[in-house]
Amino acid sequence: QSALTQPPSVSGSPGQSVTISCTGTSSDVGSYNRVSWYQQPPGTAPKLMTYDVSNRPSGVPDRFSGSKSGNTASLTISGLQAEDEADYYCSSHTTSSTYVFGTGTKVTVL
Amino acid sequence: EVQLMESGGGLVQPGGSLRLSCAASGFTFNTYWMHWVRQVPGKGLLWVSRLNGGGSRTDYADSVKGRFTISRDNAKNTLYLQMNSLRGEDTAVYYCARGHVTGYGFDIWGQGTMVTVSS
């Protein structure tokens, strides 16, 4: 199972919006609405930001929103804040009953 | 407080074995799928394995199938990962994670335990 494809980095100024893409195949992202996103600041464990494409766990700001079209999922961070600077990973359940993560994207707040 | 705490990591020689543990607290352990995810320091995440709440259904990544075994003791609220025939490429931080109760995602993570495979 190959990793899902994410851009290595994205950046934006405080208050701007950034979008991270996550491209898979019809065997993972395209098959189900079972995509999740994780935030990982340096030296810490990942934190769930969205699940089932667009659902947010309690406590996650509504500035974080997920979407999907075909084999590509996206995470949009609106109103970018300094504390959003971290690595972000997407993940998808697959038709083989396994999971696959994305390659990771570093978000930089300018 | 909902918490996961891994232990059992360390240095092991190629071909050796190691068993990781993940102690859970603050939730009804036997009702959740549990997962292992690993990460080479400075690199990306890799899903390793999962086990359902009753312990009857397992799935593995191709890279560990036949070498790693996931199990749980619901009486002790503990998840395990038995790792055999270890290789250098298994060197990573190993996280246990809880599967979301109604959806597909990993909603609680431990702090991770480092496994180093080297002679």
Report pLDDT for A2: 93
B110 close contact with A: CB closer than 8 A? yes
Q: What is the pLDDT of residue B63?
A: 97
Distance of residue B91 Cα from the nearest chain A Cα, in angstroms: 17
Residue B19 structure tokens? 């068993």
Residues of chain B with pLDDT under 50: none
DSSP codes of every residue in B37-62? EEE-TTS-EEEEEEE-TTS--EEE-T
Q: Quick one: pLDDT at residue B45?
A: 98
Chain A interface, best mutation among B22, B64, B106, by max A CB count within 10 A: B106
Alpha-carbon span B119 to B13, nearest angstrom: 5
B44 with A104: Cβ contact below 8 A: yes
pLDDT, residue A1, reads 79
Q: Is A54 on the interface with B (CB under 8 A)?
A: no
Q: What is the pLDDT along chain A (110 residues), one digit of tens a residue?
A: 799 999 999 999 999 999 999 999 999 999 999 999 999 999 999 999 999 999 999 999 999 999 999 999 999 999 999 999 999 999 999 999 999 999 999 999 99
Distance of CA B58 to the CA centre of its chain: 12
pLDDT of residue A8: 98
| DSSP symbol at A64 | E
Say yes or no for a CB contact (<8 Å) between A52 and B104: yes
**Is the CB of residue A66 less than 8 Å from the CB of residue A35?**
yes
DSSP string, A23-49: E--TTTTTT-S-EEEEEE-TTS--EEE
pLDDT at B103: 85
Q: Which helix or strand (DSSP H or E) is residue B80 part of? A: strand B78-83
* Interface residue B109 vs chain A (CB under 8 A): yes
Both structure tokens of A11: 């950046």
pLDDT for the residue numbered B1 = 96
